[in-house]
Structure 1
Amino acid sequence: MFESATSSSLAKWASSYTYIPHKGSFTFSAERSGCYRSKIYRIQGQVFADTTLSDTFSLNGGTVQIGSLSFGAAAVTNSYAKIIPTVDIPNAQANFGINTTFQMAGNTLTGVLPCSLNMYVPEEIEITNRNCCEYGISKSSDLIITWNADASNNEGVYIVFAYDGPLSNQLNSSLSAISLKVSQWVNDNGSYTIPNGAFSSFPVGGQVTILIMRGNIGYGITSIGEKYKFEAYTSATHHDHLIN
C-alpha cells in the first residue's frame, strides 16, 4: 500500500537511511524535470564545528572533490552551493552508474580534517512512459510508471505522486488549496503500478506531479573518527493534471 508522505521528498528519501552523527554533509544531484527533461546538476553542503549541526555559521572545509569535479567554499558563508556549469556537465555525468570517490581536502586554518570515501552512485534516472503527448492522468485507472532500471542499485527507488493544492487552486478556485502526497519505496526493476485507490482523494482537474528518485549515502571518516555525510541522488519529475 502507498503511504502518506508528510515531508519533502528529499528529506523522506534521506530519512530511510540510519542516522549517524556527523559534522557536515554534502549533496550531489542530477535533477531531471518537466516535459522537455531539462536537467540540473548541483552540489550543496556545509561543515560545522560539532555534530549538533546547529552552528550559526559554517566552517571552510577546503576543496570538495567528486570524481573530477572540484568545489570550494563560498568566501563569506563558507557554504558549498553550486549549479554545475555547462562546461562541466560531462564531468558531472561521468559520476553516475559507477563507484565514485568523494573527498573533502580539509583546512588547517579552521581545524577541519580531510576525509574521503568511495561509493556507488546509481545511473541517472528517467521516466520512460510519460511525455508531452500523453498529457492527462486518469483518476479512474491505476497509474503505471516505468523508468530505466539500474541492476547495480540495491537501494531501491523512491516514488512520489503529489497533488499541488496552491497551484491547482490558483488555476481553478473550486479546487482545494491543500496539497496531498502518496509515496512508496520500490525495487529498482523499472516499473511500478500505483493503484488508483491511493489517489482517490485527489480532485479531478488538479495539477499533479510524478517524482522518482534513487541514490546513495555514505560517510567519510577523518583520522580521528569524525564523520561527514555524502549524499548522491538522481531524480526525474513529470508534471500533469488529473482527468476522469
Structure 2
Amino acid sequence: MSAVVRTVTSQSTGNILSSNLNSDLKENTDICKDLIKEISNKVVIADGNSAVKETENSKNDEHTEKTHLKDDESSSNQNQLLIRNIGLTDVREKKSLQVKMLSLNIYSPGRTDVALPIPFPCTTSQNTLFTLKEGSKYRITLNFNVTQKVVKKLTNIYTVWKAGIRVRQTTKLVGTFSPRQEQYTFESDQGITPSGFFVRGSFMVRSKFVDDDGNCYLDTTYYFDIRKDWGA
C-alpha cells in the first residue's frame, strides 16, 4: 500500500513538474517572441531613419551641387562680360589714341564761321546742328590728330537724307597720315546748296571715317537745314 502511494505521489509530482516546466517554457517563448518583435521594430525604425537621413543628405548634396554650379556659371558669365568690356575698352582707347577727331568747321561767304567740337550734341529735325542758306557756297573742314602709328587710306563716307529719302552719298579718300603732334585738317570740296521751295527744310547726315584696315574712327549722325535766309 505504501509503495503504491509513493508511486502515485511520484507520478503526480512528475506531472506537476512537467506542467510547470511547460508553462515556464511557453512563457519564456512568449517573452522571446516579444523581444524579437521589439528588436525587429527598432531595426526597421532605425533603417527608416537612416533612409530618411540618406535622402535628406542626398537632397542637400544635390542642392549644394546646383548652388555651386549656378555660382560657377554666374562667375564665368561675369568674367566673360568683364573680358569683353575690357577688350572693347582697349579697342576704343587704341582707336581714340590713334585717330582723334577734334572739330568740324563750316565756312560760307556771308556768314560767321561755325566751329563744332566733336562729339556733337544730340540733334533732331527740329533742333539742327547748323543752317545753310539756299544757293550759297560752303566748305567743310575736319580737324583731327594721329598718334602711335601710320593710318593708311583714311576714307570719308558721307550720306545725306531728306524726309527719309537718300539724296546724296559720296566716298572720298582723305589720305594716309603719319603720327605727329600737330593736328591735320581735311577740307572738303566747295559745294553749293540747292535752291527752291522743295529743297528747304532739314537734312540728316551720317558721316563715317574708316581706314584701310576697317577701323572706324568716327561714325556720327546730325541734322542741318537749308533756309531761304541765314539762320543760326
Larger strand fraction of residues: 1
TM-score (norm 2): 0.29
TM-score (norm 1): 0.28
**Relative contact order: is structure 1 or structure 2 higher (C-alpha 8 Å, sep ≥ 6)?**
1
Larger radius of gyration: 2
Larger helix fraction of residues: 2
